[in-house]
Structure 1
Amino acid sequence: MRFLPTTQEKLADDVAELIIRDSHRPWSRVLVDGAPPTAPGDLADAVAERLRVLGRPVVRVRAGDFLRPASLRFERGREDPDARYEGWLDSGALHREVLDPVIPGRVLPSLWDAVTDRATRVGYVALPEGGVVLVDGELLLGRGLPHELSVHLSLTPAALARRSAEPWALPAYARYEAEVDPLSTADVAARVDDPRRPALRLSATG
């Protein structure tokens, strides 16, 4: 696998350009995937800013606002990596309320506050035609979540171990790499071992 050095700004420009280029669709759904140390939300915010400047309506959604209640997440304990991988995210709700192609133009931006362990009780927001839903979070790929573009931010295992605030979760990410291989399967992927100097994955012909 080959990589091309880039910058955070250029990476956001490239992702925004890919979304704009796919202009024949009435709505676009984009997943920005990465473990917390890769800061996928920062990239999603940067892309959203560029799209808004270009006149595209955007709804930003955090997958972390679609977690299951604590009673379900922590049923096997608070530090079970398999539970984090398999059961923390309410992927059904994210599919139904945000990404379902049957109800385009209507998005629920958040469902559950994991800190207070209560429903957020926010209302639906309208997404005009030509709009983009940008969802960021971890372990998003390989779940059957519908999308037009997927972006994955990757760390080598050593870099992830150094930068992770939750070492108990490392087996979940290792399992994700083994079962999903997001660095290869995402539409756009970048190594961010040094967050100031990301490296874009080149295609096999690139």
Structure 2
Amino acid sequence: MASRETSTSTETAAGPRRRIVEAAVELLESGGPDAVSTRAVAAAAGLQPPAIYRLFGDKEGLLEAVAEHGYARFLESKRARLDPAPEDPVEELRDGWDTVVEFGVTHPELFAVMSRATGRESHAAHRAGLEILYGRVRRLAAAGWLRVDEELAAQIIRATGQGAVVTWHATPAERRDPALLTMLRESMVAAVTRAEPMVRAAESGPAAAARTLRAALPDDPGVLSEAEQHLLREWLGRLAGDGGAPRT
């Protein structure tokens, strides 16, 4: 009898709980962490604030549930890309890394909340996602591709993925370059596997020389007029192939 009452109570709470979490996620993604107040979440869910405290304890408990919700959403997208999985374990690694970064770039606020919760590793969806990652690493090792220890490989993969997302969002929109994500991914591939990177970090020739010269130019060359400086930087940008990265 007691177990039946407990089951009924859990089912009754599931509806409001889900509404609250989904409302919190929507507020988080539209307005950032400051928008996720208990009062605002309760109003968006059509409930009273005490319901949040009853179901989650406090705001931190609510954010924990939001992180779990985020992991579940991410896991769905991750599993969708597993079918069919690439036959090449290195391509599978690239695809998995891209999935993480794409999710983080698309859902910055939710990704940040999820990242803060990763240290506890208590979420079922998070553990399932890690198992997918470790499965990829094991397949690399079994195929003879792995360059480092499996645990270190997993740490490098996670660190570069999270770092790519954080750096992307920390960069002003007009200065974001998708090449950064490609270079970070291929640097990860080179560090973890024996595979040849799809792009190389170092290069020679006119493009590299143009970047070097542009970086070495003083803010005030003295012998050049302002118009000449602008023209020179434009030419160097064309030779460098990046359109002329702005100086900081």
| TM surpasses 0.5 | no
1 or 2, which has the higher strand percentage? 1
Structure having the higher helix fraction is 2
By relative contact order (CA 8 Å, sep 6+), the higher-ranking structure is: 1
TM-score (norm 2): 0.26
